[in-house]
Amino acid sequence: MVRELRRVLLDPLRLAAAATEGRVSLEAAERHYLRRVLRLRPGQAFGVVDGRGHLWSAQLAEGARADGAWAVLEQPLAEPLAREPAPWPCLGLAVAPPRRDTGVLLRMVCELGIDRLQWLQAERSVAAAEAIRADRQEAVLREALEQCERLWLPSCLAPEPACGWLAAAPGQGLALLATTRRPGLRSLGAVLQDWAGPTPPDSVTVAIGPEGGWSPSEERVAEAAGWRPVSLGEGILRSSTAAVAAATRLAAWREDLPVSCGTSPRPCP
The whole-angstrom separation of Cα 82 and Cα 58 is 13
Burial 69-104 (b: 16+ CB within 10 A, else e): bbbbbebebeebbbeeebbbbbbbbbbbbbbeebbe
The whole-angstrom separation of Cα 25 and Cα 58 is 12
- pTM for the predicted model, two decimal places: 0.90
Q: Helix, strand or coil for residue 3?
A: helix
The whole-angstrom separation of Cα 227 and Cα 168 is 10
Domains of the chain in start order, with CATH, are 2-83 (2.40.240.20), 90-261 (3.40.1280.10)
pLDDT at residue 1 in the model: 43
Under a CB-based contact definition with an 8 Å cutoff, are residues 52 and 11 in contact?
Answer: no
pLDDT at residue 185 in the model: 93
pLDDT at residue 166 in the model: 96
The whole-angstrom separation of Cα 209 and Cα 215 is 9
Q: Are strands 23-25 and 82-83 parallel, antiparallel or unpaired?
A: unpaired
The beta strand positions in 108-262, using DSSP E, are 116-121, 155-161, 174-178, 203-208, 228-230
DSSP conformation letters of 104-122: HHHHHHHHHT--EEEEEE-
pLDDT at residue 135 in the model: 86
pLDDT (tens place) for every residue of the chain, 269 residues total = 455 789 999 999 999 988 888 899 999 999 999 999 999 999 999 999 999 999 999 999 987 565 678 999 999 999 999 999 999 999 999 999 888 888 999 999 999 999 999 999 999 887 766 677 888 899 999 999 999 999 999 999 999 999 999 999 776 799 999 998 888 899 999 999 999 888 899 999 999 999 889 999 999 999 999 999 999 988 888 899 999 999 999 999 999 998 655 555 455 65
For residue 36, how far is the Cα from the chain centroid? Answer: 26
Give the residue from 152, 140, 151 showing the smallest Cα distance to 115: 152
